[in-house]
């Protein structure tokens, strides 16, 4: 997902205009003379997209291996779900290329990737891969479920903002065009403000989790997780600020998504414990 964000932020999402080949080749050439004289097809952009596809292929191979192990351990439903989601994801990747990164396809592509990650985490927990041996207390479990919904919304709203290239609809941060609440509203500004508001809600619920872990008798591991979440959301907000202040550098944009995905993964693990 981070590679996908880096590819998109580098304006390389359509550098390979065909699928599953890239400019009709299994491995695209390194010679710039092979490609049309168009900045969209610069060699580095072609290879950003190509590496993204190779990573997806490796993920598919790893999924096959995981599914085999899952079937042997009686996790047939989850193994089948992983295969189904991955198949849809591969198909949506092709559609995304054919429709030239249409915003709706990018968002659906991201939603499928998050669904795949959620099932993978639930499967990994069956093998004892957990953040804590103990499930969170009931009062925290409810907060984690609410937080999971918010983090998922935040990621998908970010996908809308990114795919529509409206990340600078609000040209400053934390204000929006000089005001806490925009005076003049447009559709891009509305999407950007929705993204920010949900982000602040994610931060407030993370603070609620930290407060709940301190007020109630919870194990030290649970408190450490809550502290890490608050730190992670703080870093995420700062990365969002850097995106605006430095006009969406590709590396910052990819790190912004990677941090959000990590928070989503923790939310899934805790909410389903």
Please give the full DSSP string across 227-272, using - where no structure is assigned: HHHHHHHHHHHHHHHHHHHTT--HHHHHHHHHHHHHHHHHHHHHHT
Q: Is residue 272 domain-shared with residue 137, that is, in the same domain?
A: yes
Q: Is residue 15 domain-shared with residue 92, that is, in the same domain?
A: yes
16 neighbors 22 (Cβ within 8 angstroms)? yes
Q: Is residue 150 domain-shared with residue 89, that is, in the same domain?
A: no
Of 94, 129, 164, the residue at which a domain comes to its end is 129
66 neighbors 82 (Cβ within 8 angstroms)? yes
Q: What is the pLDDT of residue 216?
A: 66
Q: Is residue 169 domain-shared with residue 198, that is, in the same domain?
A: yes
Q: Is residue 125 domain-shared with residue 142, that is, in the same domain?
A: no
Q: What is the pLDDT of residue 129?
A: 72
Q: Is residue 200 domain-shared with residue 75, that is, in the same domain?
A: no
**Domain of residue 199, residue span:** 133-273
Q: Is residue 97 domain-shared with residue 17, that is, in the same domain?
A: yes
Q: Is residue 71 domain-shared with residue 92, that is, in the same domain?
A: yes
CA distance 265 to 273: 12
Q: Is residue 207 domain-shared with residue 159, that is, in the same domain?
A: yes
Specify burial of residue 182 (Cβ count, 10 A radius: 0-12, 13-18, 19+): middle
Q: What is the pLDDT of residue 190?
A: 97
Phi, psi of 10 (to 5 degrees): -85, 5
Q: Is residue 11 domain-shared with residue 83, that is, in the same domain?
A: yes
- For 176, the 3-state DSSP assignment is strand
Specify burial of residue 220 (Cβ count, 10 A radius: 0-12, 13-18, 19+): exposed
DSSP state of 25: B
Q: What is the pLDDT of residue 182?
A: 93
CA distance 167 to 165: 6
Q: Is residue 237 domain-shared with residue 196, that is, in the same domain?
A: yes
Q: What is the pLDDT of residue 78?
A: 84
Of 129, 153, 169, the residue at which a domain comes to its end is 129
Of 110, 129, 148, the residue at which a domain comes to its end is 129
Q: Is residue 151 domain-shared with residue 264, that is, in the same domain?
A: yes
Strand partners, 25: 22
Specify burial of residue 221 (Cβ count, 10 A radius: 0-12, 13-18, 19+): middle
* pLDDT tens for each residue of the chain, 273 residues long: 888 888 988 889 889 999 999 999 999 999 999 999 899 999 999 999 999 999 999 999 998 888 888 888 778 888 889 989 999 999 999 999 999 889 999 999 999 999 999 998 888 877 777 777 777 877 788 899 999 999 999 999 999 999 999 999 999 999 999 999 999 999 999 999 999 999 999 999 999 999 988 876 567 888 889 999 999 999 999 999 999 999 999 999 999 999 999 999 999 988 887
**Continuous H helices in 164-219:** 187-215
Helix (H), strand (E) at residue 84: helix 76-98
Q: What is the pLDDT of residue 218?
A: 61
Split into its structural domains, the chain has a count of: 2
- For 36, the 3-state DSSP assignment is coil
Q: What is the pLDDT of residue 164?
A: 92
CB neighbour burial string for 20-51, b if at least 16 within 10 angstroms, e if fewer: eebbeeeebeeeeeebeeeeebbbebbbbbbe
């Amino acid at each position: 997902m981070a590679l996908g964000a880096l590819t998109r932020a580098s304006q390389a999402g359509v550098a390979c205009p065909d699928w599953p080949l890239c400019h009709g080749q299994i491995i695209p050439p390194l010679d710039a003379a092979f490609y049309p004289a168009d900045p969209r097809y610069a060699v580095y952009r072609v290879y950003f997209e190509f590496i993204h596809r190779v990573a997806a292929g490796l993920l598919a191979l790893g999924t096959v291996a995981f599914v085999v192990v899952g079937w042997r351990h009686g996790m047939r439903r989850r193994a089948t779900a992983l295969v189904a989601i991955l198949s849809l994801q591969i198909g949506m990747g092709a559609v995304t290329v054919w429709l030239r990164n249409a915003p709706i396809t990018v968002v659906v592509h991201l939603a499928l990737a998050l669904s795949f990650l959620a099932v993978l985490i639930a499967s990994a927990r069956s093998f004892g891969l957990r953040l804590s041996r103990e499930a969170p207390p009931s009062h925290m479990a409810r907060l984690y479920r609410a937080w999971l919904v918010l983090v998922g919304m935040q990621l998908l709203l970010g996908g809308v903002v990114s795919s529509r290239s409206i990340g600078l609809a609000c040209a400053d941060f934390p204000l929006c065009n000089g005001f806490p609440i925009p005076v003049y509203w447009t559709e891009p500004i509305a999407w950007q403000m929705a993204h920010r508001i949900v982000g602040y809600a994610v931060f407030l619920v993370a603070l609620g989790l930290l407060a709940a872990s301190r007020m109630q008798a919870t194990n030290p591991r649970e408190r450490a997780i809550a502290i890490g979440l608050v730190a992670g959301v703080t870093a995420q907000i700062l990365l969002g600020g850097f995106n605006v202040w430095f006009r969406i550098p590709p590396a910052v944009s990819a790190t912004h998504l990677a941090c959000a995905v990590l928070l989503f993964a923790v939310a899934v693990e805790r909410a389903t414990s």
